[in-house]
Amino acid sequence: MNLAVRDVGHNAGRFLLTAVGLGLLLMIVMGMGGIYEGIEADATLLVEEMDADLWIVQRDTRGPFAELSRLPSSMEYRALAVPGVEDARRFVTHTIQRKRHGKPLRISIVGLAWPTDRGEWLPLISGRALAQGHYEMVADQTLGLAVGEQIRLGKDVYRVVGVTRNMIGSGGDGLAFLTVADAQAVQFDSVGEATRLERAARRGRAEDMDVGLTQPGLLDRADLPAAEIPALGSPMVSAVMVRLKPGFDAETVRRSMAGWADVTVYTGAQERQLLLQGPVDRARRQIGLFRVLLVAISAIIMSLILYTMTLDKLHDIALLKLMGAKDRMILGLVLQEAFLLGGIAYVLAYFMGERLFPFFPRRVIVTGDMLLWLAVAVSVICVVGSSLGIWKAMRVEPNEVLS
């Protein structure tokens, strides 16, 4: 006859209710770790999925994810001229917020280097990749956009041709993939009045310069759209991704490009580390602190619960000692109840998390290592939490059964 099982059966309702409460607490501990794993996965998603050996960004910046970066589009052709470079692609990313059906819609836009990159590598769950250079979009399912739906961004209307899964930006916003030209059109879109004022300001600056007085024809050019003025460069990009030919060392090519005065070059591993040490680091530390506090709270709650359960059966423990029960039997009684409580709470935490985590605003990733860590933590909590009850049980004298 197992005394722990008999004792739990005698107070089954209170025991199960306690296990449910502790399970909810462990589910939150598990969720905190899963949220961090999700933040890390979302932050490094594009770096890993883009499969670039080198990232060329603006000089002395940590772009394009951890910091704003601006490069001329011609950087792509300069990179292609470096020995060992197989492919160079422009990269544009920015976040916008629009209203859809009366609710705010935040979109992290990523520009694909059309026609080299059509988005075939995206994990599509419906639809297709980009098939033309303008007015098509592949969106993540978290944005709530269906295949065939149209959405206005800037002055143009874009049609959703594909839907992806788990393509989330570092800020938790769903990603939308357009061509680089369309992404730049959305990024640098301005209303008509702003365009008119910019042209007027351009003409005013030309009139104040000597060249405007000696060459009046330049004043007419000042009124033209920016794209038709040779002196103004093409829209800037966020970075240039470089893929190397087989057999070439990434560090050697990086050092060669690092000699350019206007850029900084990172390897894929360095870019990933910049993300983890920058935007993700503070969230990691904060979530880690909460996890430690919740584990400590779980240990305190379990200690109080087991201590209270031990107090309720002091008379029974004294009777057992009077009947000749050894200390190890009393020790096993308390420890078995503690591990039974912890085991039930752990199982409940896992199954409740499986049902509830998909509804969280941020992606929650529960890994096998995390489950193993939590199982070890629960075991330690059971041992530490039962120590107070064991101490009280060991101090019970057999003659107390008469009191």
Q: Which residue has the higher pLDDT, 256 or 9?
A: 256
Mean pLDDT, rounded, for 99-105: 84
Instruction: Report residue 392's pLDDT band, with 50, 70 and 90 as the boundaries.
Output: low
Q: Is residue 375 within 8 Å of residue 42, measured between CB atoms?
A: no
CA distance linking residue 140 with residue 78, whole number of Å: 33
More confident residue, 397 or 140: 140
Q: Between the CA of residue 168 and those of 125, 289, 394, what are the distances in Å?
A: 15, 25, 55
Predicted confidence band of residue 138 (pLDDT cuts 50, 70, 90): very high
Mean local confidence (pLDDT), 64-88: 85
Structure tokens at 14: 């209170």
- Could you give the C-alpha distances from 160 to 94, 145, 175, 186, in angstroms and in order? 18, 7, 12, 15
Rounded distance between C-alpha atoms, residue 39 and residue 46, angstroms? 13
Judge whether residue 55 has pLDDT over 80: yes
**What mean pLDDT is reported for the chain?**
79
DSSP-assigned beta bridge partners for residue 240 = 56, 90
Q: For the chain, what is the total number of helices (H) and then of strands (E)?
A: 14, 10
pLDDT greater than 80 at residue 193: no
42 versus 131: the higher-pLDDT residue is: 131
pLDDT, one tens digit per residue, over 245-303 is 888 888 888 888 888 888 888 988 888 888 777 667 777 788 878 888 887 887 788 77
Cα dihedral: 355, 358, 359, 363 (round 10)? 140
* Least confident interval from 121-125, 235-239, 302-306, 312-316: 312-316
Please report the pLDDT score of residue 162 as a whole number: 93
Averaged pLDDT, 227-242: 69
Check residues 117 and 212 and name the one with the higher pLDDT. Answer: 117
In 3D space, the residue among 247, 302, 332 whose CA is nearest the CA of residue 22 turns out to be 302
Q: pLDDT at position 1, please?
A: 40
Q: Is 165:140 a contact under the CB 8 Å cutoff?
A: yes
**Which of 113-122, 193-202, 266-275 shows the lowest mean pLDDT across its residues?**
193-202
Only one residue has tokens 């039974």, namely 340
pLDDT tops 90 at residue 163: yes
- Strand, helix or coil at 52? coil
pLDDT band at 130 (very low <50, low <70, confident <90, very high): very high
What's the confidence (pLDDT) of residue 140? 92
Within 8 A by CB and 6+ apart from 389, the residues are 303, 306, 307, 309, 310, 334, 338
Helix (H, G, I), strand (E, B) or coil at 27: helix
Res. 173: pLDDT tops 60 = yes
**pLDDT tens, residue by residue, 298-356:** 778 877 777 777 776 666 666 666 666 666 676 777 778 778 888 888 999 999 998 99
Q: Mean per-residue pLDDT for 381-385?
A: 78
For residue 218, what pLDDT is reported?
Answer: 54
